[in-house]
Structures are given as C-alpha cells and as structure tokens.
Structure 1
C-alpha cells in the first residue's frame, strides 16, 4: 500500500470512530435523561439520613460524568492528531505539505 492509500485508510478509520463517538454520545444522553428523570421523581432530601450522604451520592454521579467527558476528550484529541497528520498540518497550525498537497485551510475566516 502506498502512502496516499495509508492516509486514506487513516481518514476512513477516523470517520468511523467519529460515527461511533456520536452513537456513544447519543446513548449517554438518553441514559442521562433517564437518570435525571428518576432522580427528580424518586430522590428527595428525605431519602438521605444526613447531608453528608446526599453529598457523597451526588459527588459520585458527577464523578462518573467527568470520567466519561475525560475519555471522550482524549479520544477527540487522538482523532485530531490523526486528521492533522493526514492533512499535513504541523502542531503550530501551519501547513506542512501533507499527502494531499497541504492545500486545505481549516481555520475560520
């Protein structure tokens, strides 16, 4: 396989990963809505013996959300590096003349 073919495979794999991330985010949004609905309808201050128990429970829920966001952020950063390599951009954002001639300008005008 030549270099251009390898870069095209990288872009194809990146597109498939982005599709999977979108599906994960959609499932997480549905799960979060169900959890929110359950909390609103079933959890009240009377459900906890003291304020510390309530604080521990909410902190645990927020911890799970943060872990999910951190994982998706790392995945997104990895996909960005793949796209930069395929499009021939250096870390500073300048064009590096990649496999497709480096003629893509992704910056907003």
Structure 2
C-alpha cells in the first residue's frame, strides 16, 4: 500500500468517525427534545414539594449533566482536529482567534 493510499484510508476513517459523532449528536438532540416535551406536559410544581430551591437544584443538576456531555464531545473533537493537523501537516497558528472556519472571532 502506498503512502497516498494509507493517508486516504486514514482520512476516510476520520470521515466515518465524524459522521458517527454527528449521528450521536442528532440522537442526543432528539432525546433532549422529547425529554423537554415530556417535562413540559407532565411535570408540575407538585412533584417538587413546597420548596423552590429543590426545583432549582434539580434543574442545575440536569444542566451540569448536559454541559459534561458537551465538554466531552468538544474534547474528542479537539483531539480529532489535532490528529488531522498532524496528518495533513498544516499547523494552525495558536493565537488565530477563531474556531476553525465556522466561527471566526477576528483572528488572522
């Protein structure tokens, strides 16, 4: 197998991996939407008792869980990006001030 073929296989693997991540995120979004609808229709203040603090505490716990999932996915994507940079040999400036091509934040 030539070097070009090996690179092609690696890029195809990364492409499939990214596609699977997209499917996971899509499923998570659908699950969150269904959960939101269920909560809005079936949950009332009576389930939390008399205490508003209990409601806030539970909401913060759910929010923290969602943030942990997003943080984990972000770290995984950053690791994939570093591997792609190593493979393609195109170093990115460390102070570019952007999030790739998606969200330029005034960098170079």
The two structures share one fold, judged by TM-score above 0.5: yes
Whether the aligned pair in 2 keeps the contact of 1:48 and 1:54 (CA below 8 Å) is yes
User: How big is the alpha-carbon RMSD for the aligned residues of Structure 1 and Structure 2?
Assistant: 2.2
For 2:53, the equivalent position in structure 1 comes to 52
For 2:8, the equivalent position in structure 1 comes to 8
Which structure is richer in relative contact order (CA contacts within 8 A, separation 6 or more)? 1
For 2:32, the equivalent position in structure 1 comes to 32
Q: CA deviation at 1:84?
A: 1.5
Whether the aligned pair in 2 keeps the contact of 1:14 and 1:82 (CA below 8 Å) is no
TM-score by length of 2: 0.76
Matches of 1:82 and 1:10 in 2, distance apart? 10
TM-score by length of 1: 0.75
Q: CA deviation at 1:27?
A: 0.5
For 1:79, the equivalent position in structure 2 comes to 80
Matches of 2:87 and 2:9 in 1, distance apart? 10
Matches of 1:76 and 1:85 in 2, distance apart? 14
Q: CA deviation at 1:2?
A: 4.3
List 4+ stretches of structure 1 deviating above 4 A.
none
Paired residues, number: 96
3-state SS of paired residue (1:58) = helix
For 1:64, the equivalent position in structure 2 comes to 65
Query: 5+ unaligned residues in a row in structure 2: which ranges?
Result: 95-99
Matches of 1:74 and 1:9 in 2, distance apart? 24
